[in-house]
């Protein structure tokens, strides 16, 4: 196993960083690493906004339900689906891509493109010794994020990535058993899946129990059943449509 894979396997999200700012060279290396990822049909259907102004960072903390590490880090990136540049490109070529960019297919392409680019940025940052954390809670109020970062039509913020020097050493939360995620040729039958989930419930229950002196004992199965009971961020479809995406 090589160093790159060791870094990947040792990943954990870092939510407390030491005071420090990234220099311009490092920011550019991280962005170039993101850009080097594969992209669907050469579309590069994502944008990255580097949030540098303290005032903006503080307002993003509020969107993210008060998670202070959205501001207290070495750098904060916001990843977006971006078809604005394709709309501009089509205008330059006297054409239109409006119908294409409003499809569910385009939504999927943009979300996956942004994901691949972001993960390359995270891998690059971690290889340099930085810690990282994804901030999905920017979607608590994508309209507010959009307003703060002046995102035009056809651009929608998906998540943030905070980068910084780790000031904590969190444990590594156990992942699902490999067989519950990785299937051979066909998807695993329900009985086997239920057994794997019950096994995982025990494993994650022990994990939490040990770390909370027994105060918390629910494992992944019960955690998911509770946290996913009520739908979240149900305004998103409407918001996407206002941005001229995901209409069809």
Using the structure block, give the residue that is written with the tokens 């010794």: 129
Task: State the Cα–Cα distance between residues 200 and 196, nearest whole angstrom.
Answer: 6
Q: How many CB atoms lie within 10 A of CB 22?
A: 22
Sequence-distant contacts of 54-62: CB under 8 A, at least 24 apart: 56/148, 56/149, 59/144, 59/148, 60/138, 60/145, 60/148, 60/160
| Residue 226 lies near a copy of itself (rule: CB under 8 A) | yes
Token pair of 141 as six digits: 């109020």
Nearer to a copy of itself, 20 or 188 (CB): 188
Task: State the Cα–Cα distance between residues 61 and 86, nearest whole angstrom.
Answer: 31
Among 16, 20, 40, 242, binds a copy of itself (CB under 8 A): 40
Nearer to a copy of itself, 56 or 165 (CB): 56
Residue 145 CB, nearest approach to a copy of itself (Å) = 11
Residue 123 CB, nearest approach to a copy of itself (Å) = 5
Please, which of residues 19-38 interact with a copy of itself by CB under 8 A?
28-29, 31-38
- How many residues are recorded in the chain? 248
x/- mask, a copy of itself, residues 43-72, rule CB under 8 A, reads xx-xxxxxxxx--x----------------
Task: State the Cα–Cα distance between residues 21 and 73, nearest whole angstrom.
Answer: 7
x/- mask, a copy of itself, residues 157-196, rule CB under 8 A, reads -xx-------------x-xx-x-xxxxxxxx--x--xx--
The DSSP bridge pattern shows strands 155-166 and 75-82 to be: antiparallel
Beta bridge partners of 77: 50, 161
Please, which of residues 112-141 interact with a copy of itself by CB under 8 A?
112-116, 118-120, 122-124, 127-128, 132-134, 136, 139
| Residue 143 lies near a copy of itself (rule: CB under 8 A) | no
| Residue 14 lies near a copy of itself (rule: CB under 8 A) | no
Residue 86 CB, nearest approach to a copy of itself (Å) = 5
Residue 79 CB, nearest approach to a copy of itself (Å) = 9
Token pair of 106 as six digits: 């385009």
Is the CB of residue 95 less than 8 Å from the CB of residue 42? no
């Amino acid at each position: 196993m090589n160093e790159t894979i060791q870094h990947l396997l040792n990943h954990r999200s870092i939510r407390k960083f030491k005071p420090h700012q990234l220099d311009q060279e490092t920011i550019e290396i991280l962005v170039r690493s993101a850009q080097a990822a594969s992209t669907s049909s050469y579309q590069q259907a994502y944008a990255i906004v580097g949030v540098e102004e303290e005032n903006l960072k503080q307002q993003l903390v509020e969107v993210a339900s008060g998670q202070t590490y959205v501001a207290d880090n070495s750098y904060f990136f916001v990843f977006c689906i971006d078809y604005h540049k394709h709309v501009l490109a089509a205008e330059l070529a006297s054409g239109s891509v409006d119908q294409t960019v409003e499809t569910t297919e385009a939504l999927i392409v943009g979300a996956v493109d942004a994901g691949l680019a972001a993960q390359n940025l995270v891998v690059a940052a971690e290889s340099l010794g930085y810690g990282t954390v994804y901030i999905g809670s920017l979607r608590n109020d994508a309209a507010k994020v959009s307003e703060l970062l002046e995102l035009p039509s056809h651009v929608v913020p998906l998540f943030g990535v905070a980068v910084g020097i780790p000031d904590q050493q969190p444990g590594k939360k156990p992942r699902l058993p490999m067989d519950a995620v990785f299937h051979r040729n066909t998807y695993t039958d329900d009985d086997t899946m239920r057994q794997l989930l019950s096994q995982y419930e025990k494993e994650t229950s022990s994990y939490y129990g040990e770390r909370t002196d027994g105060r918390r004992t629910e494992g992944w199965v019960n955690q998911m059943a509770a946290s996913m009971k009520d739908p979240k961020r149900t305004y998103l479809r409407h918001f996407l449509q206002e941005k001229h995406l995901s209409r069809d």
